[in-house]
Structure 1
Amino acid sequence: MSDNNCVDPDQHHLHVCELKAKEMNEEVRKLFEAPPHVACTNCGVKVAKPENVCSPKDL
């Protein structure tokens, strides 16, 4: 578990900020292909689905 404000710490290992920190592979790139609808209030990354970030906020 990370020391942040993740709303779903059990799934944090699947969030974009953790995946990007490990490596930017094709699977992670796909998370950025769809138009963004939410941003993470922790790291600012913008993605389509709220379940892909720690603390989602609608754009």
Structure 2
Amino acid sequence: MKIKLKVTTSRASRMEELVKASNFYTATKFPDRSPHMREPKKAEILESWEKRRNGFKIGNI
């Protein structure tokens, strides 16, 4: 007589596995976007553009 045992994982452990997988996916898909300082001259030019146009219009700089 064979007895089939169904192995079930708890919901918490399954959620932990999903979170680990999603963290890995996010880390590989999106590079590190830590803030960086602009060169003072470029920052000044971009700020003047922003003031003239009431904010940035992406693609039309």
Do they superpose with TM above 0.5?
no
TM-score (norm 2): 0.25
Higher strand share: 1
Higher helix share: 2
Work out which structure has the larger RCO, using CA pairs closer than 8 Å and 6 or more positions apart in sequence. 1
Larger radius of gyration: 2
